[in-house]
């Protein structure tokens, strides 16, 4: 298990902000749940509106690229750019702040460390 910190979160937000600060996005969209944390922070950092849904010309973010199931839904959007904090697969069409080869479970700062097993079980059930 790899427990990430709020300091690491701030570094990720700073990095994505620097990469996107000169681009003209309509807003920021973050996938619920973990992507929302990044989206709110980036919305403030870049001065862009937080969007209810992904659309063309949007900065789209998520906490992790694991199987690709979530991000494949938005791959077709024109003018959009996708960033994740952690990618367990070498990035190809998306951007990753950090790429890890390990298959270990990641615990983000906003998650309850005491509920790791429950979260992991729910995730595995949703992927069946």
Q: Do 40 and 30 touch, CB atoms closer than 8 A?
A: yes
In the chain, % of residues over pLDDT 70: 100
**Thinking of the domain 2-126, which architecture would CATH place it in?**
3-Layer(aba) Sandwich (3.40)
Average pLDDT in the 26-44 region?
A: 96
**What's the pLDDT score for residue 67?**
86
Neighbouring-strand partners of residue 59? 28, 81
pLDDT of res. 120: 81
Q: What is the pLDDT of residues 55-109, one digit of tens each?
A: 999 999 999 998 888 999 999 999 999 999 999 999 999 999 999 977 888 999 9
Interhelix angle 6-20/34-46, rounded to 10 degrees, is: 50
Q: Does the pLDDT value for residue 123 go beyond 90?
A: no
Q: Angle at Cα 112 formed by Cα 74 and Cα 7, nearest 5°? A: 75
- Weakest mean pLDDT among 17-21, 39-43, 83-87, 111-115: 111-115
């Amino acid at each position: 298990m790899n427990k990430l910190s709020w300091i690491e979160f701030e570094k990720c937000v700073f990095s994505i902000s620097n990469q996107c600060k000169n681009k003209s996005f309509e807003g920021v969209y973050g996938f619920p749940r973990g992507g929302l944390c990044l989206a709110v922070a980036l919305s403030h950092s870049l001065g862009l509106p937080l969007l209810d849904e992904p659309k063309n010309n949007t900065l789209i973010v998520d906490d992790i690229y694991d199987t690709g199931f979530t991000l494949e839904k938005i791959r077709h959007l024109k003018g959009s750019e996708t960033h994740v904090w952690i990618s367990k697969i070498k990035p190809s069409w998306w951007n990753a702040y950090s790429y890890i080869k390990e298959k270990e479970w990641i615990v983000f700062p906003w998650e309850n460390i005491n509920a790791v097993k429950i979260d992991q079980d729910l995730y595995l059930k949703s992927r069946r």
